[in-house]
Amino acid sequence: MRKFLNRAGLALALLLGSTASFAATLDDSVLAVQHGWAQAYYQAPKSQKDAAFEKLIGEADAMVQTYPDRAEALTWHAIVLSSAAKFGGGLGALKQVKQAREDLLKAEQIDPRALNGSVYTSLGSLYANVPGWPLAFGDKKQAEAYLKKALAINPTGIDPNFFYGELLATRGDAAAARGYYEKALAAPPRPGREDADAGRRAEINAALAKLAP
């Protein structure tokens, strides 16, 4: 009996070790893509953004191939694609945003609360910023619905508050937009995401400066 328990304990330890290794590897992959995104989005010169995002898309593709059923991988694949589309433009951008939406809808089915609701934040931003029919699927009402879901999960987060403020600004509601921008600036820092936080705060301050007094 003791021999059996020892073997069972060893098997359990190996299983737990394997699970921890899997999780750490996924976390490492996501973190690498997050830092690559912050560099490409905020720091790379305009003339180098296409090359930076092309490299990052390759890394995000590899991550999704390794973890095809993880909401975290799918969400960041979508963020990379939609960001590349923003800076790249052209017909290729339409294909990228459609793939990004497909990734996010799949991630929503797997775990809508992954990455503190980033699935809904990303869907909201996507629907708010892509062209509407007949060119694409942009829809401000759908964007608002997704961003409200994101805020319900992460009410103090920098990203959902920023994107909701941006949506309100496009509607001409400067006062309400200002409130969400200021809430975004007051968001708690994200450990390990200092580069993204710095870039987003600069973006928020620029958006605040454009609002009517």
Q: What is the pLDDT of residues 127-185, one digit of tens each?
A: 999 988 888 899 999 999 999 999 999 999 999 999 999 999 999 999 999 999 999 99
- Domain-embedded: residue 202: no
- Domain-embedded: residue 207: no
Which residues constitute the domain of residue 110?
2-154
Structure tokens at 123: 């869907």
CATH of the domain at 94: 1.25.40.920
For 107-127, write each residue's pLDDT tens digit: 999 999 999 999 999 999 999
- Domain-embedded: residue 91: yes
* Residue 136 contacts residue 94 (beta carbons within 8 Å): yes
- Domain-embedded: residue 186: no
- Domain-embedded: residue 65: yes
Whole-angstrom distance, CA of residue 47 vs CA of residue 28: 29
List CB contacts of 85: < 8 A, sequence separation 6 or more.
92, 93, 94, 96, 97, 100
- Domain-embedded: residue 184: no
Per the structure, how many domains does the chain have?
A: 1
With 0.85 as the threshold, say if the pTM is over it: yes
Residue 113 dihedral angles phi and psi, to the nearest 5°: -95, 0
